[in-house]
Amino acid sequence: MTKKQIINYIVIPSITICVSLVFGFIFNDIILGGSTLIFGFLNAYYMAVGKPCNYIFGILFSITYAIECYNNGLYGFVIFTLLVYTPIQIFGIINWIRHKSEDAVLMRSLTLLHGIYLTALLVVSSFGLGLLLSLIPGQNLAFLDSSSQIVNLCGVVLVAIRFREAWYVWLVNNVIDLIIWIVRLSVNAVNAPMALIVSIMYLIMNIIGIIMWIKIEKQQKEQI
Overall domain count for the chain: 1
Measure the CA angle with vertex 47, ends 43 and 51; round to 5°: 105
List all residues 6 or more positions away from 193 whose beta carbon is below 8 Å from its beta carbon: 27, 29, 33, 185
Straight-line distance from the first to the last Cα atom of the chain, in angstroms, rounded to the nearest whole number: 28
For every one of its 224 residues, what pLDDT tens digit does the chain have, with 9 covering 90 and above? 788 888 888 898 999 999 999 988 998 888 998 999 999 999 989 998 888 999 999 999 989 988 988 988 888 878 888 888 888 888 999 999 988 876 788 888 899 999 999 999 999 999 999 999 999 888 888 899 899 989 999 999 999 999 999 999 999 999 999 999 999 999 888 888 988 998 998 899 889 889 988 888 888 887 76
Q: How far apart are CA 64 and CA 67, in angstroms?
A: 5
What pTM value is reported for the model? 0.82
136, exposed or middle or buried, with CB in 10 Å at 0-12, 13-18, 19+?
Answer: middle
Amino acid at position 191, single letter: N
Range of the domain at 200: 3-223
The per-residue pLDDT for 132 is 92
Instruction: Give the tens place of pLDDT for each residue, 33-77.
Output: 899 999 999 998 999 888 899 999 999 998 998 898 898 888 887
What Cα–Cα distance (Å) separates residue 183 from each residue in 7, 145, 176?
Answer: 37, 12, 11
Classify 89 as helix, strand or coil: helix
Torsions phi, psi of 107, nearest 5?
-110, 155
Closest Cα to residue 196, out of 172, 178, 174?
Answer: 178
The per-residue pLDDT for 224 is 63
Classify 108 as helix, strand or coil: strand
What Cα–Cα distance (Å) separates residue 3 from each residue in 8, 9, 10, 47, 209?
Answer: 9, 10, 10, 19, 21
